[in-house]
Amino acid sequence: FSQNIFMKNIYLIKFIIYGIIGWCLEVTWTGLGSLISGDYRLTSTTSLWMFPIYGTAVFLEPLFLFLVGVPPVVRGGIYMVCIYIAEYTSGWGLQKFAGVCPWDYSESKYHVKGLIRLDYAPVWFLVGLFFESIFYHFLY
């Protein structure tokens, strides 16, 4: 019984860790975007909605284990697709049920319904491998 409670708590802790890491990545990314736009204050933005979205990376952990031994280029591609699916479905769900979405990629040439940007593929590829490395080095 106590081991079962511990396992539930460990996934909650990991959810929180992934959420915080995601927030930090997003703040860094948007701050660098501000720098590139000439805003030397490095103004960053995120949303409270993003915390649970990034936290769902905990559900990638079985995939991390399943893909052991697969070349990084394949793993990164699979993670990228998973992240795109998560981004699209969470954005769609927020629009549908809450009437809001924290991001709008409509201005991008490579957007899909304003919910994902295909030109972010390399970013999501690397983020997936980064979350995998966090899992193996700190959370496994």
Q: CB-based burial of residue 45 (10 Å sphere; 0-12 exposed, 13-18 middle, 19+ buried)?
A: middle
Residues 88-99: pLDDT tens digits? 999 999 999 999
pLDDT score of 8: 73
85: pLDDT strictly greater than 70: yes
pTM for this predicted structure: 0.90
Residue type, 120: Y
Using a pLDDT cut of 90, give the percent of the chain over it: 93
Of the pLDDT bands very low, low, confident and very high (cuts 50, 70, 90), residue 4 is confident
Three-state DSSP at 116 gives strand
Instruction: Give the C-alpha separation, 77 to 75, whole Å.
Output: 5
pLDDT score of 1: 55
Q: HSE, CB side, 13 Å, CA atoms: give it for residue 34.
A: 13
Given a contact cutoff of 8 angstroms between Cβ atoms, the answer to whether 21 and 134 are in contact is: yes
